[in-house]
């Protein structure tokens, strides 16, 4: 019977695996609806472990939005660890949802949210465990429609063979439109089978169906053309943008797991989009324009969410939270509201300026001040101009020193290594900065126990950014620069002992680079890696660089390209990029100009403060930035 629970067969297996609680569901605010009461059934997957996937905001939002519809239900599924996957294969138990333990294969749709490309192998594993053919062309109308979403879906070409469609941009409204199409098709008796359903979906705004687009390649290995194979689908697929976030206050009742997760707090998204224009940042580019929630909208989400969850901490999320037009007032009034209630408030601090310290002080008014995070991203002023994240060294040191003087004892500084035009010297300046920060901080705070942690990630060029044409730095280059930096930090022990350095080797970044800017040919590599046992690629204990490079060498040879061709090769202006037919709203010419300006170390200003329509998003999509201030304020909550 469809929609039947697999739990009785799963339960004996759970007694034999690590952390079984992650598979049983029953989270606070989870929803279970009778199967036969609705027309359309969605399984929503986060393709990583439960502890990482459960707190994902995107999935939580869609789960609520869909379950609010009387004609649909949504249940969640996550990547299953190898210990349970092995037992499931032995016992013939398929990939299941955690809510009702229904077989994923029974659902009409499987929505998969790709925050990172490293989840691709987990999708193949889940499809295979579900008994769903991994190749889209092998599925018939009894199989779920596999829908990719999330930021990585802005270049779904590497998984084009495995997904049926991809949704570009915000999902809140798109999932509703997709539900309507599937419902109508089912009610009409599934006319034209799966192909007709996909053709109808391809006409939904923001939905890309890869099978209706043919890609050909030239003798140099680059794409020669991308052409649609039916004239009733769009030549270019645009993205979805939700306007007026106050009308979409999701999640209203955030899920609270019993199991431990990576975020033991509630998150409230205070705005979407970012106009800072940091050239490395894909999120900032593809989520334009900026749309703020109002101070009162945020206030009620915090209030309702805390009541619904019992969480002790609230994070005010966005890509650059201090930029909210009412942030100062918001911080003060939230701190007033929750004073004396043991409720923590936090801001993911990214921008390096004194205002951020003021905000953090306000939010931690009577709480512990331990760590504060800043993200200068580049070690030298020169490289910070290249990436358009301009802050002078003096301002940086002054800001961090202010934090120490205000009782913060640990400051974390985020940097990237391997940025375009970067030299060893740019990276070595990180050591000078950290040294000055500690020296000035000790003086300002009068304490010896302050610490500075330098956290460094390898830069991966991403589609739909000015750096989409850039040559990615090789793993050797990154590893070598990080070695030099470590030596420089350790050269003065009196200071160096107060500086921590956290980094990963450059290898996983190379594979992320392959998957980020890959085309359909890379799908062969992903499949090969999965067949050779690859999954959980975001986990260092599971990731195998050798398995990826071997698969890339063997699978790409027939096409005359290789791993380096996709990663360390700089693209030219006229090259057709694999995602050119997918429209993030950004004008390709503007991106190219911005890339040239980056190479000339020129900055670009923020359209939040200076009107500018050059990037093309607002004119293309008919959108506008939505910011305050609204002039409203938060009233104290009535005492219950």
Partner 1 sequence: MARQPDGPPPPPTVQKLRLRYTKRGPLRFASHRDLARALERALRRAQVPMAFSAGFSPHPKISYVGAAPTGAASEAEYLEIGVTRPCDPEAVRLALDAALPPGIDVVECVAAQEGTGGLAERIDASVWRLELPGVEPAELGSALAAFLAKDVVEVARRTKSGMRDVDARAAVAAATAGGEPGCGMMTVVVRQVTPAVRPDDVVAALAAVADLRPPSPPRAVREAQGRLDDTGTVADPLGPDRLASTHCQGERATV
Q: Give the separation between CA 61 and CA 253, rounded to whole angstroms.
A: 10
Residue 445 CB, nearest distance to partner 1 (Å)? 10
Among 3, 19, 176, 354, binds partner 1 (CB under 8 A): 19
CA nearest neighbour of 126 among 182, 178, 81, 69:
81
Contact between 342 and partner 1 per CB under 8 A: yes
Contact between 502 and partner 1 per CB under 8 A: no
State the residue for tokens 């805390």. 306
Among 195, 214, 235, 258, binds partner 1 (CB under 8 A): 258
Residue 598 CB, nearest distance to partner 1 (Å)? 42
Q: Which residue's CB is nearer to partner 1, number 185 or number 311?
A: 311
Among 34, 189, 219, 310, binds partner 1 (CB under 8 A): 310
Among 37, 71, 260, 589, binds partner 1 (CB under 8 A): 260
**By CB under 8 A, what part of segment 613-632 binds partner 1?**
none
Site stretch for partner 1 (CB under 8 A), options 267-275, 304-312, 318-326, 454-462: 304-312
Among 2, 16, 142, 605, binds partner 1 (CB under 8 A): 16
Say if CB 559 and CB 521 are below 8 A apart: yes
CA angle 317, 388, 477 (to 5 degrees): 100
Among 142, 188, 312, 600, binds partner 1 (CB under 8 A): 312
HEC readout, 324-357: CCCHHHHHHHHHHHHCCCCCEEECCCCCCCHHHH
Residue 25 CB, nearest distance to partner 1 (Å)? 7
Among 20, 86, 221, 500, binds partner 1 (CB under 8 A): 20
CA nearest neighbour of 206 among 174, 248, 159, 161:
174
Which pair of tokens denotes residue 364? Answer: 């931690």
Q: Give the separation between CA 156 and CA 154, rounded to whole angstroms.
A: 6
Q: Give the separation between CA 361 and CA 405, rounded to whole angstroms.
A: 11
Which pair of tokens denotes residue 530? Answer: 């999965």
Residue 226 CB, nearest distance to partner 1 (Å)? 48
Among 70, 192, 193, 407, binds partner 1 (CB under 8 A): 407
The region, left, alpha or beta by phi > 0 then psi within -120 to 50, assigned to residue 20 is alpha
Residues 6+ apart with CB under 8 A from 609: none
Among 63, 81, 311, 530, binds partner 1 (CB under 8 A): 311
Residue 48 CB, nearest distance to partner 1 (Å)? 20
Which pair of tokens denotes residue 291? Answer: 């749309």
Q: Please give the span between the terminal C-alpha atoms of the chain, in angstroms, as a whole number.
A: 48
Size of the site for partner 1 (CB under 8 A): 33
Site string for partner 1, 207-246 (x = CB under 8 A): ----------------------------------------
Q: Which residue's CB is nearer to partner 1, number 28 or number 635?
A: 28
Among 139, 369, 385, 547, binds partner 1 (CB under 8 A): 369
Site string for partner 1, 25-54 (x = CB under 8 A): xxxx--------------------------
Question: Distances in Å between the alpha carbon of 353 and those of 89, 304, 359, 369, 403?
Answer: 54, 32, 11, 18, 10
Site stretch for partner 1 (CB under 8 A), options 57-65, 244-252, 318-326, 366-374: 366-374
Contact between 3 and partner 1 per CB under 8 A: no
CA nearest neighbour of 501 among 569, 613, 413, 442:
413
Residues 6+ apart with CB under 8 A from 47: 53, 78, 79, 112, 113, 114, 119, 120, 122, 123, 126
**By CB under 8 A, what part of segment 78-137 binds partner 1?**
none
Handedness of CA 563, 569, 575, 578 (dihedral sign): positive
Q: Which residue's CB is nearer to partner 1, number 36 or number 449?
A: 449
Contact between 262 and partner 1 per CB under 8 A: no
* Paired sense of beta strands 266-269 and 40-46, if any: unpaired
Q: Which residue's CB is nearer to partner 1, number 27 or number 125?
A: 27
* Cα 88 to the center of its chain, rounded Å: 29
Contact between 366 and partner 1 per CB under 8 A: yes
Among 24, 354, 576, 612, binds partner 1 (CB under 8 A): 24
Among 230, 307, 497, 531, binds partner 1 (CB under 8 A): 307
Site stretch for partner 1 (CB under 8 A), options 18-26, 105-113, 431-439, 488-496: 18-26
Among 87, 242, 243, 259, binds partner 1 (CB under 8 A): 259
Q: Which residue's CB is nearer to partner 1, number 370 or number 423?
A: 370
Site stretch for partner 1 (CB under 8 A), options 165-173, 190-198, 252-260, 518-526: 252-260
Phi, psi of 223 (to 5 degrees): -70, 130
Residue 400 CB, nearest distance to partner 1 (Å)? 18
Q: Which residue's CB is nearer to partner 1, number 20 or number 628?
A: 20
Among 216, 368, 558, 631, binds partner 1 (CB under 8 A): 368
**By CB under 8 A, what part of segment 263-282 binds partner 1?**
264
CA nearest neighbour of 268 among 197, 215, 338:
338
Contact between 443 and partner 1 per CB under 8 A: no
Q: Give the separation between CA 292 and CA 329, rounded to whole angstroms.
A: 14
Q: Which residue's CB is nearer to partner 1, number 366 or number 610?
A: 366
Which pair of tokens denotes residue 563? Answer: 């791993």
Contact between 579 and partner 1 per CB under 8 A: no
Give the E-state strand segments of 150-188 in sequence order.
165-167
Q: Give the separation between CA 490 and CA 244, rounded to whole angstroms.
A: 50
Q: Which residue's CB is nearer to partner 1, number 23 or number 595?
A: 23
Beta-bridge partner residues of 5: 102
Residue 640 CB, nearest distance to partner 1 (Å)? 7
Among 1, 137, 558, 640, binds partner 1 (CB under 8 A): 640
Q: Give the separation between CA 438 and CA 441, rounded to whole angstroms.
A: 5
Tell me 448's DSSP state. Answer: S
Contact between 11 and partner 1 per CB under 8 A: yes
Q: Give the separation between CA 211 and CA 164, rounded to whole angstroms.
A: 8
Among 67, 309, 399, 472, binds partner 1 (CB under 8 A): 309
Say if CB 232 and CB 199 are below 8 A apart: yes
Which residues sit at the interface with partner 1, rule CB under 8 A?
Answer: 7, 11-12, 14-16, 19-21, 23-28, 256, 258-260, 264, 307-312, 342, 366-369, 407, 640
């Amino acid at each position: 019977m469809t929609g039947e629970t697999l739990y009785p067969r799963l339960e004996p297996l759970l007694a034999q695996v690590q952390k079984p609680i992650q598979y049983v569901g029953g989270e606070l605010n989870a929803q279970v609806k009778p199967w036969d009461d609705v027309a359309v059934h969605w399984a929503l997957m986060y393709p990583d472990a439960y502890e990482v996937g459960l707190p994902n905001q995107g999935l939580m939002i869609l789960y609520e939005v869909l379950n609010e519809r009387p004609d649909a239900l949504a249940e969640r599924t996550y990547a299953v660890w190898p210990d349970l996957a092995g037992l499931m294969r032995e016992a013939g138990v398929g990939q299941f949802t955690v809510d009702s333990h229904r077989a994923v294969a029974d659902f009409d749709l499987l929505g998969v949210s790709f925050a990172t490309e490293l989840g691709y192998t987990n999708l193949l594993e889940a499809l295979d465990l579900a008994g769903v053919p991994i190749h889209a062309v092998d599925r018939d109308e009894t199989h779920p429609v596999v829908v990719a979403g999330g930021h990585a879906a802005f270049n779904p070409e590497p998984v084009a063979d495995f997904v049926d469609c991809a949704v570009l941009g915000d999902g809140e409204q798109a999932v509703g439109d997709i539900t309507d199409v599937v419902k109508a098709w089912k009610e009409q008796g599934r006319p034209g089978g799966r192909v007709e359903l996909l053709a109808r979906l391809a006409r939904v705004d923001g939905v890309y169906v890869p099978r209706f687009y043919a890609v050909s390649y030239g003798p140099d290995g680059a794409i020669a053309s991308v052409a649609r194979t039916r004239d009733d689908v769009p030549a270019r697929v645009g993205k979805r943008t939700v306007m007026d976030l106050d009308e979409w206050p999701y999640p209203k009742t955030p899920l609270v797991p019993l199991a431990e997760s990576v975020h033991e707090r509630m998150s409230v998204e205070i705005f979407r989009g970012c106009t800072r224009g940091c050239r490395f940042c894909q999120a900032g580019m593809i989520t334009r324009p900026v749309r703020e929630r109002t101070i009162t909208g945020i206030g009620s989400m915090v209030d309702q969410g805390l009541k619904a969850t019992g969480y002790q901490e609230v994070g005010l999320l966005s890509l650059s939270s201090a930029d909210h037009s009412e942030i100062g007032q918001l911080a003060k009034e939230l701190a007033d509201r929750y004073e004396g209630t043991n409720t923590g408030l936090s801001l993911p601090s990214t921008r390096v300026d004194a205002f951020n310290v003021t905000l953090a002080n306000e939010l931690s008014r009577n709480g512990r001040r331990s760590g504060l995070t800043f993200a200068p991203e580049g070690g030298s002023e020169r490289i910070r101009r290249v990436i358009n994240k301009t802050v002078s060294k003096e301002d940086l040191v002054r800001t961090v020193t202010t934090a120490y003087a205000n009782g913060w004892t640990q400051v974390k500084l985020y940097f990237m290594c391997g940025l375009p035009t970067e030299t060893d010297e740019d990276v070595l300046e990180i050591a000078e900065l950290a040294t000055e920060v500690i020296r000035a901080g000790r003086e300002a705070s009068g304490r010896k126990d302050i610490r500075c942690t330098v956290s460094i990630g390898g830069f991966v060029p991403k589609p739909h950014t000015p750096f989409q044409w850039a040559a990615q730095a090789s793993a050797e280059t990154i590893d070598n620069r990080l070695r030099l930096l470590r030596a420089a930090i350790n050269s003065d022990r009196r200071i160096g002992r107060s500086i921590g350095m956290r980094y990963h080797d450059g290898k996983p970044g190379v594979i992320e680079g392959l998957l980020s800017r890959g085309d359909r040919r890379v799908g062969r590599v992903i499949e090969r890696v999965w067949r050779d046992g690859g999954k959980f690629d975001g986990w260092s204990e599971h990731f195998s660089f050798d398995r990826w490079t071997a698969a890339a060498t063997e699978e790409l040879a027939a096409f005359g390209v290789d791993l380096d061709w996709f990663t360390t090769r700089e693209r030219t202006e006229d090259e057709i990029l694999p995602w050119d037919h997918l429209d993030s709203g950004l004008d390709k010419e503007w991106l190219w100009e911005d890339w040239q300006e980056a190479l000339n170390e020129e900055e670009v200003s923020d359209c939040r403060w200076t009107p500018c329509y050059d990037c093309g998003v607002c004119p293309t999509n008919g959108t506008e930035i939505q910011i305050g201030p609204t002039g409203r304020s938060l009233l104290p909550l009535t005492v219950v």
